[in-house]
Amino acid sequence: MLRVENLWVSVDDRQILKGVNFSINYGEVHVLFGPNGAGKTTFIMTIMGFPKYKVEQGKIYFKGEDITDKDVYERAQIGLGVSFQRPPTVRGVTLRRIIEIISDDKVDKERVHDFSEKLNLLGHLDRNLNDGFSGGEMKRSELLQLMAQRPDLVLIDEPESGVDMENIALVGESINTLLGKDKVKDPKRSAMIITHTGYILDFVNGDRGCIFLDGNIVCQGNPK
């Protein structure tokens, strides 16, 4: 599904990624570990195409297509989606409206209601996006938006960050719902999940773990 070859990336003229090679197949969940500054967030944000992250060398292929030079919106259109560690507050735009925009108004009201109920967000739909949301509510809001988008590869940055233990379970269940793993496994939907604590792995099964250190993957294996 995704293949990364010899990826070198800089941010503000500082070299962050140094020759990363990586691949993930359809239906797999890969978990990214490593200390702060190791390059994990830079890696997934580069895959998503944010312009702050400058590709100096290397290639990114998604579904067999070279997407190295594609814009963020083009990557979203072909099946990439991201959940931020610290999503922004957007005043003047409700969570409900964001979902309608993301889904191009194709998600019916009943489906939005069901997803929101499962994520315990029914009371947040008509509030400004992330305005006054707790850490757990922000994470669940991000996952609700991804459910509306329905990407083939989901990039999730620290889903347990700022979330208490009780809500980590709900976030984990939400990720499983997003990936279709609470029912019959969807062979097409994959995920890359960044974690510092590993708590999310009590609720989400990873197929492979990758340890980042100093801008590269230094070890891979069973994430448990």
Please list the rounded mean pLDDT of every run of 10 residues in the chain (224 residues).
98 97 95 95 97 97 97 94 86 88 68 81 89 86 88 93 83 86 63 92 93 96 86
> Could you give the 3-state DSSP secondary structure of residue 55?
strand
pLDDT of residue 10: 98
pLDDT of residue 66: 98
| Separation between Cα atoms, residue 173 and residue 148, nearest integer Å | 16
pTM: 0.89
Name the residue ranges covered by the structural domains of the chain.
Answer: 2-87+151-221
CATH of domain 2-87+151-221: 3.40.50.300
Q: Hey, what are 198's tokens?
A: 């590993």
pLDDT of residue 113: 79
| Separation between Cα atoms, residue 145 and residue 83, nearest integer Å | 9
